[in-house]
Every structure is written in C-alpha cells, then in structure tokens.
Amino acid sequence: MHLATALELAAHRYPAAPALITPGASFSYAQWNRRVNSVARALLQAGLQPGERIAICTANIEAAATTYFAAHKAGLACVLLNARWKEQELLPAMEEAAVKAILFDQTTKTEVAAALRLSDRAIVPIEAGASHRKGREVENGLIFEEMAARPTEAVPPVPRDDGAEATVLYTSGTTGSPKGVARSCRSDYYAAMALILEQRWERFERFLLVMPLFHTMGLHTLISMVLLNGTAFLLPRVDPEACLHLVAAGGITALYLVPTIFHDLVAAAAAASREPLPVRKLAFAGAPMSPRLMAGCRELFQPEVFVNQYGCTEMLAITVNSRLELNPHSVGRPALHSRIRIASPAQGGQGEAAEGETGEILVDASLPQSFLGYLNNPAATGRAVREGWYHTGDLGYFDDRGELCLAGRVDDMIISGGENIYPGEVERILLAHPQVKEAAVIGIPHPRLGQAVAAFIVPGTPAPTPGELERHCRESPQLARYKRPCCFFFIPSLPKSAAGKVLYKLLREEARQRANGLPASSTT
C-alpha cells in the first residue's frame, strides 16, 4: 500500500478521530489530511517534481509528520536527517541525496543554515516554527505554517508506485560513513504491519511518539499509528517528567522506546515517588535491557505485553521476544516477514551454524520489508546483500529453545542510547588534535546509555589534558554531541597485531580493569 493512500483511508474511516497531539495543538485525521494536502500542493507549486527528494531535519513536531506524508502525496521521496548532526555531517547527506528542499525548525536552523551556505545546490529552505519573516537565519524560502494554512485543494494527481523509493534513512552502518537506506512504501507498510502484529497494537492505540522520526523506530511508529487510526502524542525532545505527565494525562496505551529512555522514565518516576502508571503495551529495541531495568519497567508501567525487538534500519523487525519473563536474554524468534540464519564461521560463513555456535546473523533480503539498497552506493549494497541474504554485521547464536541470542558485533560498533557510533569517525577528530599521536575509541558499559564512548590516547609532547580534548571534540563541526568520549585513557602505545591493526579487544579489557577506579588521567 502507498503511504499517501494509507492516510487518506484513515481520514475516510474515522475523520473525527484524534491523529496528532502536540504540546500546543491537536489535529483530527480529517484536519491533518487537509494540512497534508495543502503542504503537498505547496511543494509542487514551489517547483519540486515527482521523483525528487525533500529532506526533513527537525525535532518531533507536527510539521515533520505532515511534511513526510505530504511528500508522498506529491510523489517525492523523503530523506530523514539526524537532527543532532552538525553542518559538516548534514552536508554530505544533502549532497548525496540531491535534495531539492529541506524542512528545518528552531532547534536545527543554525546547522542547516550553515550546510545550505556550504552547498552549491539550489535547495528550497522550509522553516517550521517561524513566527515572522524578518530576522530569520535563512532569509529566503518558505514558512511551513503558511504552506499548511493555504486553502485546501485537491493535490494534482501524481503516479503512486508503492515499490519506488519513498524514504531514505541514514545509518552509520559498519563502514563508519553514513549510508542512506532507501525504502519503498511497500517495504515500510510491511514493516509497520510486522510491528502491529508482534507488539499486539490495536485500533485507536495511543502512542507516546518521542523516538525521533529520523530513527526507524519513530518513523514506523508513526506509520503504524496511521494504519490503526491511532493517536500520536508528539514531544520535540525527551523530557522524562513531560513524558510521565503525558502517560498519565493522555491515557497512553503503547510505548516503543530504546532502553535509555525507559531508564530515564523509571528513574524520574522513582525520584518523584510516583505511583504506577499503567501502560498496556511496552516494547524496546536498539540495545539490550538489563534485568534490573526490566523489573523497574514492570513495576512502573504494569504492562500486559512486554516485547524485545531486534532489527535494523535495512530490515526493521528481524526477531521478537514476546515472552521476556521466560527468556529475558534472548531476542526471540523471527518476526512476521522475516527469515534468518546464522553463518557458521567454522565453514567460512557458507554453512549453517550449529545450535549454540556463534556466527553472523543473516536475514532473507527477498522478503517484503527489506530495503531497496543503499542510496547511490551499489558497492555497499553488494557487500551487505550477498546471494539474497542481508549481512547484519551482528553476531548471534540459537539457544536450546531455538531462540536468537546476540553476542556482539562483527565490527567494533558502539551503540549508545540506541545510536550507532563508529570508532573511526571519533578517532579522526581526536587525531586532528596537534598533541595526539594515536587514538583508539571503544564502547564501555554505561548504566543508562548501554554503552558510552571511551578514548585511548597516545599523547604527544606536551601531552594534552582531558579538558583540552573535551573542548576539541565539542568544537568540532563534524562530531555530534552523543559521539563525544566520556573519558580519556592515556597510554604509551596502542596494542596492535602483527599486521599493525589495533587490537580493540585488549583495549576493552584494559578499560574493564580501570573501571574500578579511574586514574587521574581520565575524565568523566
């Protein structure tokens, strides 16, 4: 199904049902669909052509959700950019995707404006949240609210091919450089249907939508909501107290979050001595959840359904564990529209792994929720999808129940708060400091984020201080805040193999040994 059609059908079924609720406004399905039509028509009148791409780089606001569906109605592909990126992270993605327009808001306008100044392309800026035209950081372009408030007219008919590129989400992947994951309306529809079934979502479900829309979890929650005529309570940022208030006041029935956010909600509720806030359905993905946090979630939310989902941007729902009380360490069995196998390292990755044998997790790429490929990167697509199987880069094994258990990553990716961080991108920034000879970055355990970034530094002369390195990372236009190291370990040399490759495993062991008491040369 085409996503533009999905919204039209939702507005046809239950026009008065609440669709979007924000801190300052609410929209029924009929009202929202009219705004989507107005924005779609305005995009076409601004000169965008079906088949071209528009970028969205905002917090979770109504303008983002509206523009996403408006793009589909106008026949445009929508490129969702990380709202935490800086200008030199945004620019390559904008250039690669050849976007013709970009929606930004007050939280991202400085970085987007800087990226637009650096770009040689003619990109139409669209500002959300602007109250007037004077004094704007981006003087030319469109104002979203003016577009949405135009008289509603029918959108000129454009072809609707649900198998064509419709959405591009950026992920760091295993190479360290962001890759655009191209998906179709068809693949996103099937992915959303898998979420609906596996998480037991129902008609009129009420979602707290705090996961970013540039993240697959946030986006597919929004799509699922439309298919169910549900309601999304949008929050522009994660504020635990605001989230808990909405859970109580808004009658939230479903939470689909990374463990980091669940951690913050449980901690905030405990600090405020809150009574339990029943939420019928909980689901988490993006990182493991500790048994202690699971218990805290059960105590606070008293869920009827509690699900752990394992997936990725390319394939979305790969496996699901809906019986956490029986096997809390597993990520379960294949989800709807998913087939998996584990490549046996003993057979060079060609054969099937035996029960209990750890190998790379492969997913059938022929099934309908699979991505189309990496944007403008056939080589990366070819490396990821071989002989019809998508190589996740994750290690896992089947336990004696036949359920999948994760065992780390083939590479050394750091997952912090549900965000992928590749060591090389942080190391490159550190090595740009004149007093750093060598640098290696690893992930260390963190009680809230799952992992945090730690850097091993071989200092030059004179040696840099931790404060100087912190400032260097903070001032870099290429390093988002969540990628910055939380601590620095100074060592005389990096452990390396005979081939000269850094032995990250030994660095992780060194970090574990130091964790009992950080030396004076470290900072947190």
Q: Go through the domains of the chain in sequence order and give each one's CATH number.
A: 27-182 (3.40.50.980), 330-411 (2.30.38.10), 414-514 (3.30.300.30)
Element (H, E) at 438: strand 436-446
Q: How far is CA 189 from CA 33, 160, 196, 260, 370, in A?
A: 18, 14, 11, 27, 11
What pLDDT digit, counting tens, does each position of 373-419 carry? 999 999 999 999 999 999 998 888 999 999 999 877 777 788 899 88
Residue for token digits 């944007």? Answer: 375
What pLDDT digit, counting tens, does each position of 493-523 carry? 888 754 456 888 899 999 988 886 544 344 4
**Average pLDDT of the residues in 144-167:** 91
Which pLDDT score is estimated for 523? 40
CA 448 to CA 75: how far, in whole Å?
Answer: 41
pTM of the model: 0.85
- Is 473 strand, coil or helix? helix
Amino acid at 393: G
Which pLDDT score is estimated for 148? 96
CA angle 271, 275, 281 (to 5 degrees): 105
What pLDDT digit, counting tens, does each position of 9-29 carry? 999 999 999 999 999 999 999
Which pLDDT score is estimated for 420? 79
What pLDDT digit, counting tens, does each position of 464-473 carry? 999 999 999 9
pLDDT of 356 > 80? The answer is: yes
pLDDT of 172 > 60? The answer is: no
Under 8 Å between Cβ of 102 and 55: yes
Under 8 Å between Cβ of 474 and 484: yes
CA 82 to CA 59: how far, in whole Å?
Answer: 9
What pLDDT digit, counting tens, does each position of 101-117 carry? 999 999 999 999 999 99
Which pLDDT score is estimated for 30? 98
Which pLDDT score is estimated for 132? 58
pLDDT of 320 > 70? The answer is: yes
Q: How far is CA 224 from CA 10, 194, 256, 268, 302, in A?
A: 11, 9, 12, 28, 23
CB neighbour list of residue 497: distance below 8 Å, 6 or more residues apart: 503
- Is 522 strand, coil or helix? coil
Which pLDDT score is estimated for 58? 98
Cα Rg, the chain, nearest whole Å: 23
Which pLDDT score is estimated for 131? 61
Residue 317 exposure: Cα atoms within 13 Å on the Cβ side? 32
Proportion of the chain above pLDDT 70, given as a percent: 94
Which pLDDT score is estimated for 501? 67
**Average pLDDT of the residues in 471-491:** 95
What pLDDT digit, counting tens, does each position of 418-445 carry? 887 878 889 889 988 999 988 999 999 9
- Beginning with the edge strand found earlier in the chain, give each strand of the sheet holding 254-257 in spatial order: 26-28, 18-21, 231-234, 206-209, 254-257, 281-284, 305-312, 316-321, 333-334
Q: Which residues does residue 103 pair with via DSSP β-bridges, in sequence order?
A: 56, 126
Query: Comparing 497 with 92, which gets the higher pLDDT?
Result: 92
Which pLDDT score is estimated for 518? 47
Q: How far is CA 425 from CA 186, 264, 291, 393, 420, in A?
A: 33, 28, 32, 18, 11
| Mean pLDDT over each residue of the chain, to the nearest integer | 91
CA 243 to CA 265: how far, in whole Å?
Answer: 8
Which pLDDT score is estimated for 421? 86
Which pLDDT score is estimated for 349? 67
pLDDT-based confidence at 353, cuts 50/70/90?
confident
Phi-psi region at 334: left, alpha or beta (left = phi > 0; alpha = psi -120 to 50): beta
Which pLDDT score is estimated for 520? 33
Residue for token digits 């492969």? Answer: 362
Residue for token digits 């090595």? Answer: 431
pLDDT of 346 > 80? The answer is: no
CA 195 to CA 258: how far, in whole Å?
Answer: 15
CA angle 236, 241, 246 (to 5 degrees): 70
**Phi then psi for 57, rounded to 5 degrees?**
-140, 85
What pLDDT digit, counting tens, does each position of 451-467 carry? 999 999 999 889 999 99
